[in-house]
Chain A
Amino acid sequence: NAASAVEQAAPSEKKPAAAPKAPQGSSPSAQTPPQAGAAAKTVGEDTCLTCHDDKKRGYEGSPHSVKSDERTPGAKLGCETCHGPGSKHADDPAANPLIRFSKEKPATVNAVCTTCHNRGDHALWEGSQHENRNLSCISCHSVHNYKSAQKQLKGESQRDVCITCHRDKIAKLDRSGHMPVREGKMECTTCHNVHGATNVRLLRKGDSISELCTSCHADKRGPFLWEHPPVRDGCTTCHDPHGSSNERMLITKPPLLCQRCHVSTRHPSTIYDSVLLGPTTPAPSVRVYGRSCVTCHAAIHGSNHPSGQRFIR
């Protein structure tokens, strides 16, 4: 958001280091950051930077470094807030390695990060789909070497990060029918909370797929006098929200889509083949081209017309 972007562009005023405090609000699985021996003590950020000056990049000026926020590493123990007390490591680095997140198992990484990131959007991380698949916070984020200042992502955009695993979904964004993601007006997190959600499929809003979709497409939510069952059941019955080569992001072309459920007499069960395309045909049929079925059944999401049973009005 604007404020966080500003924060990242504008580091806070440097203040004398606050007195070290214990981590607050630790998560249930949080563990004490690994220590290089029971007797290890904190040595302070300046000592760490003697050898690890390169780690200032990315950290300094980031939200983690803001000393005025008592929940940040900057306000607590600096480097040692996450990496553990470093006295023994300072004495003999090879014999007393500190935690290196890139080498740790995901559960360890997550435990350290969720010591503080245990509320708001992160409150449901534990047990979430991503946590269950061995992802850790540093699968997507980096404290020291991020490419996007936005949420300190390891890629330059959400698309760059999410494509690592969800290549099939990202590929759909380039279809002719798509949400404005590649144009920069939406992002994956517009619909999904990747850290966990009460809704299905990590959906950020609502309590069902339909509630998420109608949070923007409120005109489709009704309630209608005449309802179309798949609309009430879920928008994804007919639409692919990630993109489709069909108009209106439909999962397949009408009339074939409609014919998957409508097998009655007369026109719903007719083969609409190439004969009806024209122009040599005596009567080219809009049942096979143009808007197809919804040329007539326009109110397909529901109708309040007293004669709206077939969604024609």
Chain B
Amino acid sequence: PGSPPHIPPTIVPQGPSTGTSPFSVGFLDFGIRNTTADGDATRYERYRDLRDGLFLESALIAVNQNDWNFGFAGSHMGMKDQRMIVGGSNQGRIKGWFMWDQIPMLLSRTTQTFFEGDVINNNGVLRIADPIQQQGQANANNIPLLFAPPNTQVFSIGTERHIAESGVSLHLTKDTEFRGLFRNTAKTGGIPYGGSFGHSQLVETIAPVEHTTRDAEASLEYVHDRYLFRAGYVGSFFTNDNTTLTFDNPFRLQDTTSASSRGRSSLPPSSTFFSVNGMASMRLPGHSRVTGYISSGLLEDAGDPIMPQTVNTAVVGINPLPRTTVDGKARTLASTVTFTSRPLTKVDFNARFRSYDYDNQTPVFITSQRVSYDNAVSNLNPAIETEPFGVSRQIFDGQARYLWRPGTNIGVGYLFQREARSHRIYEDVTDNGVYATFDTVGNQWFTVRTRYEFTVRRGNGLDETLLSEVGEQTGMRHMDLAPRDRNRITVIGVLTPMENVAFNVSATAGKDDYLQSQFGLRDNNHQVYSAGIDWTPREHVAFSASYSFEDYAALSRSRQANPDTPTGCANTYPPPAGKVACQFYDPSRDWSVDTDEFVHSFILNADFLNIKNRFDLRVAYDSNRYSGTYHYITGSVPDRTLPDEVTGVPSTLPDPVQLPDVHSNLDRLTADFVYNFNRRVGLGVSYWFEKYGVQDFALDAESVGNGVTNQAVLLGYMYTPYTAQTGWLRLIVRW
């Protein structure tokens, strides 16, 4: 079973230094809070509830009697992000707990829509008043004029998870332990969702989220002498109360054979996944151990019927579906074998082999008709069919290390990974890699960890017709399986010149070159550097500061083209005499986008604890400054173009007008001060300051503010800057 829930560390007091029996301890942190925010408070409170008024930040009660411990811990009680845990244990014998946890995800309070009624709890149906649809149908230019109250409503959008979890750990004998867990997760709310009616009628809807997931896990483990055996079960039962969403079209009231007044989308299906697994481990001579693990699983949908082709009542001539249910089904089989050995004092080996099979047994669905956007029926010749994707994966990792000096190891390793996928352009792809490590620890002055890795990925059985059949460039390689050379290096160092001062530095760099991808992702590089200092001048006083810089860069290639353009064009390049090449084959229409993202991060901390046995003060500041550039380049990129590509062809594309750079800054300051009157009672003041600034061409107000036009009706979910502050006056009681 999964990890037991954790209580946030801030609410768990250190155990008392002495104990009597029976006894109880407790901790309460409560008071009054005020939050102010200019701008988008939603983002400030995305996963938390910082509302004004009284709060009970944390509570803990623990009772001990006759080797039994019982306790209750709660945090943010009464708020949308509350968590409460009650548990009991007799260490080494039994442990049990029940947890109630809520996780909100607030997306927006300023979203606006034509849809009527309770748009979040919509039961899968979203309606627009007929007069608005009528005016939209009469003239699409009416839509932006109508988009204001009372024709629209402003609403909050987001989701909440309500998690009830119970678990038990039972030591049946000193060698045998049973673990069980049951979790019920109810997720409610809504999320922005697409629901368009064609390229000139783009609509955002609200997908209802009424999900329930019930998880049951159990394991039995036996450990004795040199042996370990474990058997486990994992079951996950997902129920979606709304597997379809029907929504009105603001641009149309009446259905026709080429336009629909409503759309209907599929939403995720209810499903069940369960697996059984077993593990055995045995100690061998020569400080060796072998461990084997196997797991077999089954994923199935709930048997819901396949929805009709369209909700458009005017569309006729639709053939019956070839079958009425999805019959989604997949079997998984995973295994792992690990061998570790230290036959000599200075030499150790370890090797691990993993395999994973996802056998997709969903029957192929063949259809000769398509109703795009619920608008019009198209007859397809040839018919199209689904591609139940499956994968078979084998991974080997073997390493040998030599203990050069005490605490210093030099290691070399070999990596192998083979993945065979169904319905993909390669029958299989294989990674072969080598790596070297150098780690030294335990030294009084410094710790160094380094790793270098070089991996080559190549594909076998390339079938470019799979690309041409769907109209893709045959020189494109999907980035998740494209042949690739990968170089990665990591260096982490900690220097401790004095007992109370430590300097740390780290550097990570990686470079992926997609050597056969004429189109698609060509390269992908990253560099991360950091430096920091930790200084503890005396007990209970500590300072730390760190800075890190990250750079992520990538180049991808494409070719802008319309099919069969210009008229009478040739499907070759260079074209025959007297002809011109079709755009699809014309390298003068190539373009690239060079993406570069930079992030600067600063973290500062100062702690003054237990000063004069009365004061605790903690101050923290962190800053995250991101900038991203997306630079379009027409024509070839000399140093990043494949040697066998057609180069030197002047671009015939118009010069692109570059996208504006993206910037986002997040600055956070927190200060916590506690005055302890005595060991039992303290008075605290806390202050949070958070400032977020953003310029984002995709999601800031300048762009999304244009989201309602004669061709589009968006909800207005956007990034908005904010400055927020929260202050707490806290009373802390311990007993």
Contacts and interface: CB of A to CB of B under 8 A. Distances in A.
Interface of A: 1-14, 24-25, 27-29, 56-57, 60-63, 66, 68-72, 102-107, 118-121, 123-124, 126-127, 132-136, 139, 148-150, 153, 156-157, 164-165, 167-168, 171, 174-176, 180, 183-185, 187, 189-190, 193, 198, 200, 204-205, 207-208, 211, 214-216, 218-227, 229-230, 232-234, 237, 245, 247, 252-254, 256, 259-267, 269-271, 273-275, 277-279, 283-284, 286, 288-292, 294-299, 301-310, 312-313
A3 B338 contact: no
Contacts of B673: none
B657 A269 contact: no
B626 A274 contact: no
21 contacts: A5-B7, A28-B287, A63-B91, A68-B90, A123-B223, A126-B340, A183-B81, A198-B279, A219-B211, A219-B240, A245-B628, A253-B628, A284-B703, A286-B707, A289-B704, A290-B704, A291-B714, A296-B373, A298-B196, A303-B266, A313-B264
Contacts of A205: 2, 234
A297 B223 CA distance: 51
A12 B91 contact: yes
A302 to B, nearest CB: 8
B465 interface: no
A2, A216, A264 pick with most chain B CB within 10 angstroms: A2
Contact of B423 (A168, A222, A229, A301): A229
Contact of B697 (A7, A277, A297): A277
A283 B201 CA distance: 12
Contacts of B692: 176
Nearest to B709: A284
Contact of B478 (A11, A220, A261): A261
A116 B442 CA distance: 23
Contacts of B538: none
B92 A69 contact: yes
Given A260-B521, A306-B365, A150 B12 contact: yes
A224 B306 CA distance: 11
B154 interface: no
Given A223-B330, A262-B472, A265-B471, A29 B287 contact: yes
A222 B269 CA distance: 6
Nearest to A247: B699
B386 interface: yes
Contact of A306 (B321, B399, B530): B321
Contacts of B193: 298
B537 interface: no
Contacts of B329: 223
B67 interface: yes
A46 B712 CA distance: 79
Contact of B7 (A14, A66, A150, A167): A150
B630 A256 contact: yes
A6 B89 contact: yes
Nearest to B595: A252
Nearest to A231: B389
B47 A223 contact: no
A187 B10 CA distance: 14
A269 B440 CA distance: 50
B520 A260 contact: yes
B269 to A, nearest CB: 6
A102 to B, nearest CB: 8
B177, B384, B480 pick with most chain A CB within 10 angstroms: B480
A205 B346 CA distance: 34
Given A2-B5, A70-B174, 20 more contacts: A2-B73, A4-B95, A61-B17, A106-B441, A132-B437, A150-B12, A176-B43, A184-B8, A198-B279, A198-B295, A219-B211, A223-B330, A233-B481, A254-B698, A261-B521, A265-B584, A288-B697, A291-B192, A299-B266, A304-B326
B407 A134 contact: yes
Given A245-B628, A296-B196, A176 B664 contact: yes
A290 B707 contact: yes
Contact of B15 (A2, A149, A222): A149
Given A28-B284, A225-B328, A127 B352 contact: yes
Contact of A106 (B81, B407, B492, B698): B407
B23 A10 contact: yes
B69 interface: yes
Describe B's contact surface by its main secondary structure.
strand
A267 B91 CA distance: 63
Given A10-B19, A184-B8, A295 B194 contact: yes
Contacts of B344: none
B519 interface: yes
Contacts of B105: 180
Nearest to B627: A245
A218 B599 CA distance: 32
B362 A223 contact: yes
A271 B199 CA distance: 16
Q: Give the 8 A-B CB pairs with smallest separation, nearest first.
A: A6-B71, A69-B92, A223-B328, A298-B194, A2-B87, A1-B4, A28-B283, A61-B15
B478 A265 contact: no
B350 interface: yes
A312 B266 CA distance: 9
A5 B560 contact: no
Contacts of B213: 218
B719 interface: yes
Nearest to B322: A306
A141 B92 CA distance: 20
A259 B478 CA distance: 10
Contacts of A253: 628, 630, 662, 698
B561 interface: yes
Interface string B464-483: 00000011110010111100
B6 A187 contact: yes
A189 B342 contact: no
Contact of B342 (A4, A107, A200, A271): A107
B45 to A, nearest CB: 9
B654 to A, nearest CB: 9
Nearest to A269: B558
Contact of A256 (B211, B442, B593): B593
Contacts of A69: 91-93
Contact of A66 (B16, B91, B321, B342): B91
Contacts of B416: none
Contact of B291 (A8, A124, A252, A310): A124
Contact of B202 (A68, A226, A295): A295
Nearest to B283: A28
A164 B492 CA distance: 9
A292 B653 CA distance: 23
Interface string B243-262: 10000000000000000000
Interface string B633-677: 000000000000000000001001111101010101000000000
Given A260-B556, A290-B704, A119 B228 contact: yes
Nearest to A180: B47
B360 A223 contact: yes
A226 B386 contact: yes
B519 A207 contact: no
